[in-house]
Amino acid sequence: MNAPRRRLHGFVAVLGSCGLLLTACAAGDLRQTPAGALAAAPAVGAAGAVPAELARYYGQKPGWKACAGVPSFQCADIEVPLDYDHPEGGDITLAAIRQKATGSGAARVGSLQMNPGGPGSSAIAYLLGNADSFSPAVRAAYDLVAVDPRGVGASTLVNCATGTPAAAPDPGARRADIGASAAAYAEVAAECRRHAGRLLPHVSTLDAARDMDVIRAVLGDKQLHYLGFSYGTYLGATYAELFPSHVGRMVLDGAVDPALDGYDFTIGQARGYEVAWKSFAADCATRPDCPVGHSVQEADRILNTLVATLNRTPLRQGKDITVTGDSVLGAVVLGLRSPAWEALRAALAQLRAGDTTAVQALLGVDEESDPGDQSYYAVSCLSSTLGTWSTVAQAQAALPDFRRAAPQFGAYYAGTLPMCTQWPVRPDQSAHPITAAGAAPILVVGTLRDPATPYPWAQALAGQLSSGRLLTWDGDGHTAYHQGSTCVESAVDDYLTQGQLPPSGTVCV
């Protein structure tokens, strides 16, 4: 995505983009749903009735006013209960912005809510940076609406006061020492328990989906029209499961398969980046100045050598930033995700000459960060699909499977397996297929060589949804809409503006 993003150091910038069922886990406990996880999401409000205790939220009238510094947008705060099961327990605030539709009358469909992914990415920042990317037809049909989910961005924030950016542990330690990685995750969990404990049980995807229905009503829409990318597809599918009769025109681009558990999610994503690396390397091999050789096999060897060398002897250049082999893998992952192949070629060429400047640029080391925001962990660990709960021993036992699945990226991703093991709140959402029976048609968009949400996930979600329709893009990089494909743009825009789905089996090239 081209959304402007706050700095997300190291691995969270990668994993937060949200793979691919590949192989059984040698450590069987990794596949067990953590104690306390629900068997399935409850169907809340499917018939459209608003419980009396929530009526004041659904009926609120936010005070929209011009946003400071961006007068073409309107800003407002929306109140939602901290705990939907006990709404008397207090409120939290969701920050919202919108850009009013340019059309009126029959041309206007309603409001288009959107989420760029993460979890933890700001929807507000995405819309501010990307509103002009929407076609005139879409901008005529919809008020473009972005609300930072609970726990994220300008909404009531998961602030753990950790003093470090929202990131996984130092990637330099991950490959060599899963134990050190697990200890760093445990430290983040302890700080979040100490500083944000009251909020942590209430920032799940289920909660955010219920918020979306409140927002739908507050905006005056009978149905929710929605555009979700990456994690935003998981959020959208969850909404469709909870409120199938409220689904309007929904586009899920870069799909997460909700039936995967955290282990399969993680190993699948490692395989997804392996596929993307091979595509990059094959393209690079056709160029005379390719910094990683002239075959995929040579590129694999050169990358492995760079990573091993820098893990043994890291480079320290500029602002006292240390670049390790796993830092290089992080930069490669981000370059594949964008995709930013030209920048990645330049970074690898400089790195082979001993210069880490371009690698640092890919990692975003010069961007600002919020040292207290740990919303990525807080949301992920409440979902059995997104969060991983292995012990150090289990993660180490899984390493051979990860290396077989993805020789270049497997060990790097295995380091995240202990991410949630010490998290203070257990999941409230289990891994399970989502059918959303009774929902209006839902358009799922998949990219053949998407590294972060591999194409089989899109196939799986479209197949699970009772009204799913798959649109395929024969492309590279993470997500398809607004990535340069006229075919994808037209298909998505026709659906959003006219309700017209692309023919079954459509592949955009």
Catalytic residues: 230, 450, 478
Closest CA to 196 of 162, 166, 159, 164: 159
Write out the DSSP string of 423-483: -SS--SB-------TTPPPEEEEEEEE-SSS-HHHHHHHHHHSTTEEEEEEEEESS--TTT
Strands of the 468-476 sheet, one edge to the other: 65-67, 70-81, 91-99, 142-147, 110-115, 224-229, 247-253, 442-449, 468-476, 507-508
CB 415 within 8 A of CB 26: no
CA 106 from chain centre, in angstroms, equals 34
Note whether 450 and 477 are within 8 A (CB). yes
231-242 helix and 205-218 helix, angle to the nearest 10 degrees: 70
- Residue 254: both structure tokens together: 């870069």
Backbone phi, psi, residue 130, to 5°: -130, 5
The structure tokens listed for 167 are: 């990131």
Whether residue 416 contacts residue 381, with contact meaning beta carbons closer than 8 Å, is answered with no
3-state secondary structure of 228: strand
CB 203 within 8 A of CB 82: no
Q: Are 322 and 315 in contact (CB under 8 A)?
A: yes
For strands 70-81 and 91-99, give the pairing. Answer: antiparallel
Task: For residue 83, give the amino acid letter.
Answer: D
Cα gap 444→433, rounded to integer Å: 15
- The owner of tokens 């705060």 is 77
At 234 the three-state DSSP class reads helix
**7 close to 373: Cβ distance less than 8 angstroms:** no
> Which helix (H) or strand (E) segment is 252 a member of?
strand 247-253
Q: Which amino acid is at 484?
A: G
Asked whether the CA dihedral 371, 340, 326, 321 is positive or negative, the reply is negative
Cβ neighbour number for residue 198 with a 10 Å cutoff: 11
Q: Is the dihedral of CA 148, 154, 158, 160 positive or negative?
A: positive
Instruction: Assign 33 to helix, strand or coil.
Output: coil
Q: Considering just the CA atoms, what is the radius of gyration of the chain in Å?
A: 22
